[in-house]
Copies of this chain bind each other. A is one copy, B any other.
Amino acid sequence: MVGCALEPKMAVHCVTLSELEERKQKQLNENGDVEEDCSEKFPSVGPMLTSKLGGFCNRKFIFKRLPILQWLPAYEARFLLEDIVAGLSVGLTVIPQGIAFAVMANLEPQYGLYSAFMGCFVYCVFGSCKDLTIGPTAIMALMVQVYVGSLGANFAILLTFLTGCIILMLGLLNLGFLVQFISMPVTAGFTSAAAITIASGQVKSLLGLPGRSNEFVDSWINVYEHIGQTKLWDAVLGFTTIGVLLLLRSLRSKWSLMGKYLALSRNAVVVIGGAALAYYCSTFGSKPFSLTGTVTPGLPPIKLPPFTTVLNNQTLAFNEMTSMLGSSIIALPLIAILETIAIVKAFSKGKSIDASQELVALGMCNIFGSLVSSMPITGSFTRTAVNNNSGVRTPLGGIVTGVLVLLSLGLLTDTFYFIPKTVLAGVMIAAMFFMIEFHAALEIWRTKKVDIIPFMVTLVSCLLLGLEYGMLIGIALNICFVLYMTSRPNIDQALLRTSSGIEAMVVKPDQSLIYSSIEYLKHEVVKRTDKTQVTTVIIDGSNVSYVDSTAAKIFSSTIEELALRGRTVLLWNWNRSVRCTLIRLNKVQFHPLFKNGGLEQLDKEICNESLP
């Protein structure tokens, strides 16, 4: 079929229809599965599952599920410095962030650091995206704060374990393909909104204002209300930090190797510089900046997540705890997945990603995290951006981050005391600025104007309603676009003329017949044939690869309606599976309509066999 659509000027041997049919038949026979062509095209879970189970043992599967086996043997010495620089930069970001998120979640500060290292180690083994760093995030912290506030830290840790199990399960079931329903405009909108939200949340720290909000609108209301309390030196140091960062970033492509490393390690440079400055001032007894402050030292205990807990002198069993956690057992994994996958998609720059593997990695991170009293963790947008900006080469950078966090817990809490908050805010704002996808928006506008709608809707909903709702709204809207498209098929039409004038009309829907489009199709076909008043209507089914029961029924009624209006209907080029469906619905009177060159007898035999 395909080859024949070419124009005759190309002098090639063209495969004819009958040759193709023959070849297909031969293939079917070779597969020893003649029936398959007449059975449904839809997913047959059985064989899929079997092949999947069989696949658990082979070498390829192990390589796929442990990406470290792929990148570690190919590791080059020159990657090491870059990975260490990036790992340190991320580490220096995650320590104050972790503390802030733990406080936001009503947990003690050290829980933030407990959550920050295990994800790095585990992701290094299972992760396939070099930039992604998994750890505590603002959204996760917000999601658990209700339970922790009223029920205690044990619920957060149990939630980490359950979240991990659910995500791991989804990953092993290969449900990662679901992320292909997140389009580029939605991802771009989400990314931009996340960057704006995070940067907005840091403005207060940049100016040394009080307040704790991390939502876009609340952040700016907070800044507006407290702008009079701006701390001069915090603001000066903060804007200086941003300036220095932008300056160092511009060295990237210029100057020598020295300049390049300075550009890559710029985040670490300003943080260490800031801490040194604050320490220097403190030696004079002066405290011009808001500092990160005391972090309780000590490593977390390694133990199973709490499957029972004591609350108000009552011992709660596992099922009582889970029933108190309610719907968050479902919501938390979903949002963790959305966040991680959106980040991986944003950083994969158009390359195919193995989403199922990312789910496995994320699930593992949470399960192992729950052994060291972690709160639920997921991909962090900020730190992934820092990681990428710092020029990370492999997931090995995560090991450095993890070690740094462990060291900070064990030894360095005094050192981190001096990091000015405003410098960290500056680091985040500078990283976020380059994450707002102006270029993507421009590109979308240039290529396909209508796609700016999901972009803008996602962006605005994320800013106004929060990231998770915004993303869901964006996805739903974009699915509506797809549904609209499938419900309005294009119908090619042509008139076939003999020497004596118009004789027949060919209509050719451009997609399969499904319930959402069939009413429209019926309406159009009847309208168009009425308009031309031809005696014969040929319905060309070459693009129809599937027909569902609703469509089959209404399509049959279309043919009856055309017959009532005195038209002769011929069905041309319909594939066997669709022919079988229509014949099974309408019994044998449908047969004479199909004109496929000698296939009628074959159909009659095959389709009748499967009649009840």
A303 to B538, CA, bound (A): 59
Is A548 an interface residue when CB atoms closer than 8 A count as contact?
yes
Contact status B451-A13, CB under 8 Å = no
A508 to B485, CA, bound (A): 19
A545 to B34, CA, bound (A): 33
CB-CB under 8 A from A444, the residues of chain B are: 549
Is A183 an interface residue when CB atoms closer than 8 A count as contact?
yes
Segment 13-27 of A: residues with Cβ below 8 Å from B: 13-15, 17, 20
A507 to B5, CA, bound (A): 12
A409 to B550, CA, bound (A): 44
Interface size class of A (residues with CB under 8 A): 35 or more
CB-CB under 8 A from A180, the residues of chain B are: 487, 515-517, 519-520
CB-CB under 8 A from A352, the residues of chain B are: 519, 522-523
Is A482 an interface residue when CB atoms closer than 8 A count as contact?
yes
Contact status B549-A447, CB under 8 Å = yes
Q: A2-B492, A494-B15, A510-B511 are in contact. Are A547 and B585 (CB under 8 A)?
A: no
Q: Which residue of B lies closest to A577 (CB)?
A: B448
- Stretch from A139-147, A233-241, A495-503 contacting the other chain: A495-503
Is A449 an interface residue when CB atoms closer than 8 A count as contact?
yes
Segment 448-502 of A: residues with Cβ below 8 Å from B: 448-451, 478-479, 481-487, 490, 492-499
Q: Which residue of B lies closest to A504 (CB)?
A: B12
A501 to B291, CA, bound (A): 75
Contact status B490-A14, CB under 8 Å = no
Is A7 an interface residue when CB atoms closer than 8 A count as contact?
yes
Q: Identify which of B1, B5, B183, B506 contacts A548 (C-beta below 8 A).
A: B183
Segment 173-199 of A: residues with Cβ below 8 Å from B: 177, 180-181, 183-185
Contact status B553-A350, CB under 8 Å = yes
CB-CB under 8 A from A4, the residues of chain B are: 5
Contact status A552-B448, CB under 8 Å = yes
Contact status A495-B15, CB under 8 Å = yes
CB-CB under 8 A from A11, the residues of chain B are: 498
Is A29 an interface residue when CB atoms closer than 8 A count as contact?
no
Is A546 an interface residue when CB atoms closer than 8 A count as contact?
yes
Contact status B13-A553, CB under 8 Å = no
Contact status B554-A350, CB under 8 Å = yes
Interface string of A90-105 (1 = CB under 8 A from B): 0000000000000000
Instruction: Give how many copies assemble into the complex.
Output: 2
A15 to B506, CA, bound (A): 11
Q: Identify which of B482, B495, B540, B581 contacts A447 (C-beta below 8 A).
A: B581
Is A532 an interface residue when CB atoms closer than 8 A count as contact?
no
A510 to B207, CA, bound (A): 57
CB-CB under 8 A from A553, the residues of chain B are: 184, 350, 443, 447
Contact status B546-A485, CB under 8 Å = yes
Which residue, of A483, A507, A508, A549, has the highest number of chain B Cβ atoms within 10 A? A549
Contact status B487-A2, CB under 8 Å = no
Contact status B550-A183, CB under 8 Å = yes
A552 to B185, CA, bound (A): 12
Contact status A181-B6, CB under 8 Å = no
Q: Which residue of B lies closest to A479 (CB)?
A: B483
A370 to B504, CA, bound (A): 55
Q: Identify which of B3, B6, B17, B522 contacts A7 (C-beta below 8 A).
A: B17
Interface string of A562-583 (1 = CB under 8 A from B): 0000000000110000000100
Is A512 an interface residue when CB atoms closer than 8 A count as contact?
yes
Which residue, of A486, A517, A552, A573, has the highest number of chain B Cβ atoms within 10 A? A486
Q: Identify which of B181, B450, B511, B581 contacts A42 (C-beta below 8 A).
A: B450
11 further interface pairs, Cβ-Cβ under 8 Å (given A13-B496, A446-B611): A2-B494, A5-B540, A6-B506, A12-B503, A12-B504, A177-B487, A180-B517, A184-B549, A185-B549, A448-B581, A510-B543
Q: What are 18 sample pairs from A and B whose C-beta atoms fall under 8 A apart?
A: A1-B5, A7-B17, A12-B497, A13-B496, A42-B484, A180-B515, A180-B517, A181-B515, A184-B515, A444-B549, A446-B612, A448-B547, A448-B552, A482-B483, A485-B546, A486-B486, A490-B545, A511-B511
